[in-house]
Amino acid sequence: MKLNKTIIALAISALVLSACSDTDEKDTSLLDGNLNANSGINDASTSGLNKGYGMNGSAMSGNGDYASTLGPEFNDPNNPLSKRTIYFMLDSSEVMPDFINVISAHSQYLIANPAQHITLEGNGDERGSREYNIALGEQRAKSVASLMKARGVSESQLNIVSYGEEKPAVLGNNEAAWEKNRRVEVAYQPR
Amino acid sequence: MSFFNKVLFLIAFNLFVQNSHAALTIEISEGVSSALPVAIVPFSSTGAPVNISAVVNADLERSGYFKMMAEQAMPSKPNAASAVNFNEWQAASQNYLVIGQLADAGGGQYNIQFQLFDVYKSGQLLGYRMTSTAADLRKTAHHISDLIFEKLTGKKGVFSGRIAYITTTNPASKQQSHQLQVADADGFNPQTIATSVEPLMSPSWSPDGKKIAYVSFERKTAAIYVQTLASGERARVAEFPGINGAPAWSPDGTRLALTLSKDGSPDIFILNLSTHALTKLTRSFSIDTEPSWSPDGNSIVFTSDRGGKPQIYIVSSQGGEEKRLTFSGSYNARASFSPDGRNLVMVHGNGNDYRIAVMDMSNKSINVLTSGRSDESPSFAPNGSMILYASKKGGTAFLSAVSIDGKIQQRLLFNSGEVREPSWGP
């Protein structure tokens, strides 16, 4: 065993002496070399922090419910324009038949209002890895976009972003929450 | 020492470490059955702002390799080698003994001295004398832990390292805020290096530990930033249409592998950070994402669903044939290499549960290490002994660590907010 080689079997008093000389030998090399070299890190990060990359001001979402200001049809529960979330099955980006009429209604509105832009925000549930869920969320948003384009919506009206599992609609670790989070949100952009 | 298994050791640092700013507490939920008994006698000190011996004690206990002797059980409390009576420590069944002193040297400096003894051989294994500023006392303590750990286990200690992670405050409200934080490996000294109301993701350390690449949605679109920790200065290195994600540093620090969907489906690209040249590495029509470099820089592993379900593939970092690596389990994602390149850690799913698994590269066998329902974002410690990952239970997100053999489990409990995507720095 390696330890044996480093241990000198002497009387305790003798050992203590050797211990102290051992201490002295290693003294400065350790210190100044390692610890002081690292010591700048904390202060530096703090100054990095103080210089600030707080994005609170610029990044506030301003279009949360912009669509509801576009007209009464966007608030009428009987009108498909009032539905601006399209849900998906687990690990799937295929649009379910239930949501075709919602996509068609928004498509018609966009065709009639060519100056209107929307962002299709793809999202996923919390299961699996985060970057893979970003990719899955983008696939979902692209599925919706391609149905809209097939109905005649101009590509220039459509913007896509995927938030993966980063912006859950509902918090929770169960299927009831997950099914509400596997979604594409149709976000109308202020004109 | 089988009683050590399955016993919960709650180490509430803020209970016995004064003047500290604890971001988290760490539970060791399972340790090795052969944990070595070690006694750390409280160091003599004169009004030092940090209880160094308590920090060392907590570090070693948290590692799972040691069974630390409670202070009340100690037969004596020597601070000098001349006062050590090995017989009484042998009688107390301790294999190793640490003693030390801390003295105010004036001018904000402290002199620290410690010695590690083999109790049964009645001999010194280590002895160091060091000086430290008051501000660096915790760092010095972690350094002492590293020295003791390496002497007793033969493995490099990781107590001096740092971790990066993402936290979210007010996760349930519209006022939520995301922070990228860097903290010591024991969760102390947390520092926020970026804050955004829009998501932050995928922190990745540069190999020299001086920079972190990450994804930010602060402009309502995904972009990759590289931030220098010392100055806080940062550069936006990728903001193409679509996904800009999963940055991973090459081992030489000159390039980032990343995921872009600007050409349609997400593919792996390599961005040269000095020339800004962008090279496309994969070209499938499926999802290719989560690149990670082999330690020699020659290969890149990534996640792809080209076979229907996400699985791990490998390709030369120069491009070429892409080979599938994982065949067991319906979901394998976010792989990364151990520092020695012999193992891959990944998220391994069976349809219901997502757990952390390690694949032996020599025979491709997969060993599932964790038992959560939603474990993700595994990250190797620099010495390859432990894997840090994110977990969820009962609506709470927390960080955990597991040894590569699954025998040591730790849970890191943050005081508030959600915490995820841990990344162990060099």
Domain assignments of chain A as residue spans, ordered by start: 2-51, 66-188
Q: Tell me how far apart the alpha carbons of residues B422 and B381 are, in angstroms, rounded to a whole number.
A: 11
What percent of chain B is modeled with pLDDT above 90? 76
Find the mean pLDDT for residues B37-52: 91
**pLDDT recorded at residue B192:** 94
Separation of alpha carbons B386 and B402, rounded Å: 5
In terms of Cα–Cα distance, which of A154, A163, A159 is closest to A119?
Answer: A159
Same domain, B228 and B141: no
Would the pLDDT of B191 be above 70?
yes
Query: Structural domain tally of chain B?
Result: 2
Nearest to B197 by CA among A185, A130, A55: A55
Burial grade of B150 (CB within 10 A; 0-12, 13-18, 19 or more) = middle
Least CB–CB distance from A23: residue in B84, B128, B421? B128
Q: Are A85 and A185 in contact (CB under 8 A)?
A: yes
Whether the per-residue pLDDT at B425 is higher than 90: the answer is yes
Confidence of residue B412 (pLDDT cuts 50, 70, 90): confident
* Boundary (domain end) residue, out of B153, B181, B207: B153
Q: Minimal Cα distance from B183: which residue of A? A: A42
pLDDT for the residue numbered B128: 96
For position A94, what pLDDT does the model report? 95
Q: Which of B68, B185, B55 is nearest to B114 (CA)?
A: B55
Query: At residue A155, does pLDDT exceed 70?
Result: yes
- B221-248 pLDDT tens trace: 999 999 999 999 999 999 999 999 999 9
What confidence category does residue A51 fall into, taking pLDDT thresholds of 50, 70 and 90?
A: very low
Could you name the CATH architecture of A66-188? 2-Layer Sandwich (3.30)
Interface test with B, best of A127, A131, A133 (most B CBs within 10 A): A131
B127 with A20: Cβ contact below 8 A: yes
Of A3, A27, A129, the CB nearest to B376: A129
Instruction: Specify the pLDDT at position B397.
Output: 81
Residues A30-35: contacts with CB under 8 Å, at least 24 apart: A30/B128, A30/B130, A31/B130, A31/B131, A31/B132, A34/B143, A35/B130, A35/B132, A35/B136, A35/B139, A35/B140, A35/B143
Least CB–CB distance from B123: residue in A7, A40, A127: A7
B11 pLDDT above the threshold of 80: no
Predicted pLDDT at B13: 26
Mean pLDDT, residues B116-126: 96
- Taking the CA of residue B290 and the nearest CA in chain A, the distance in Å comes to 6
Using pLDDT thresholds of 50, 70 and 90, give the confidence band for residue B28. Answer: low
**Is B230:A44 a contact under the CB 8 Å cutoff?**
yes
Local structure of residue A56 (DSSP, 8 states): T
Mean pLDDT of chain B, nearest integer: 89
Residue A13: pLDDT above 50? Answer: no
Q: How far away is chain A from the Cα of B216, in angstroms, using its nearest Cα? A: 10
Q: Which stretches of B79-218 are DSSP H helices?
A: 86-91, 137-153
- Nearest residue to A87 (alpha-carbon basis) of A77, A79, A97: A97
Task: Write the pLDDT tens digit of every residue in B285-301.
Answer: 999 999 999 999 999 99
Rounded Cα–Cα distance for residues B374 and A171 (Å): 14
DSSP state, B208? T
Whether residue B85 sits in one domain with residue B50: yes
Residues in A closer than 8 angstroms to B100, CB to CB, are none
Statement: residue B26 has pLDDT above 80: no
The mean pLDDT value for B264-282 works out to 97
Query: What Rg, from alpha-carbon coordinates, does chain A have?
Result: 30
Q: pLDDT tens digits, residue range B132-145?
A: 999 999 999 999 99
Of the candidate ranges A55-69, B42-56, B387-401, the one whose mean pLDDT is the lowest = A55-69
The pLDDT of residue B407 is: 85
Query: What is the rounded average pLDDT of the residues B304-326?
Result: 96
Single out the residue of A139, A162, A41 nearest to residue B182, CA to CA: A41
Cβ-based contacts under 8 A for chains A and B = 229
Return the CATH number at B77: 3.40.50.10070
pLDDT, residue B398, reads: 85
Beta-sheet strands, E only, within B134-243 = 162-169, 177-184, 191-196, 200-205, 211-216, 223-228, 234-238
Mean pLDDT, residues B63-72 taken together = 92
- Start-to-end CA distance of chain B, whole Å, equals 33
- The per-residue pLDDT of chain A, averaged, comes to 74
- Higher-pLDDT residue of B121 and B32 is B121
- The three-class DSSP label of residue B340 is coil
What distance in Å separates the CA atoms of residue A117 and residue A111, rounded to the nearest whole number?
11
Neighbours of B14 (CB within 10 A): 15
Q: Domain boundary residue among B127, B153, B179?
A: B153
Distance CA B331, CA B335 (A): 11
Residue A130 identity (one-letter amino acid): R
B273 shares its domain with B380: yes
pLDDT given at position B223: 98
Task: State the residue range of the domain holding B375.
Answer: 162-424
Give chain B positions within 8 Å (CB) of A63.
none
Residue of A nearest to B331 (CA): A128
How far apart are alpha carbons B149 and B120 in whole angstroms?
A: 18
Q: How confident is the model at residue B24 (pLDDT cuts 50, 70, 90)?
A: low
Sign for the CA dihedral angle at B282, B287, B292, B294 comes to negative
- B208 in the same domain as B96: no
User: Does B412 lie in the same domain as B336?
Assistant: yes
Neighboring chain B residues of A160 at a CB cutoff of 8 Å:
242
Confidence category of residue B62, pLDDT binned at 50, 70, 90:
confident
Report, as an integer, the average pLDDT of B197-217. 97
Q: Answer yes or no: are the C-beta atoms of B110 and B24 closer than 8 Å.
A: no
| ipTM given for this complex | 0.88
| CB within 8 Å: B303 and A19 | no
- The secondary structure element, H or E, covering residue A12 is helix A12-30
pLDDT band per the 50, 70, 90 thresholds, residue B48: confident
pLDDT at B394: 72
Same-domain check for residues B142 and B16: yes
Two structure tokens written together for B300: 């890149």
**B92 and B183 assigned to the same domain:** no
Contact between B373 and A128 using a beta-carbon 8 Å cutoff: no
Confidence of residue B22 (pLDDT cuts 50, 70, 90): very low
Residue B177, min C-alpha distance to chain A (Å): 8
The H or E element spanning position A43 is: helix A40-51
**In terms of CA atoms, which chain A residue is nearest residue B234?**
A53
Of B154, B218, B289, the CB nearest to A59: B218
Residue A15 has pLDDT above 70, yes or no: no
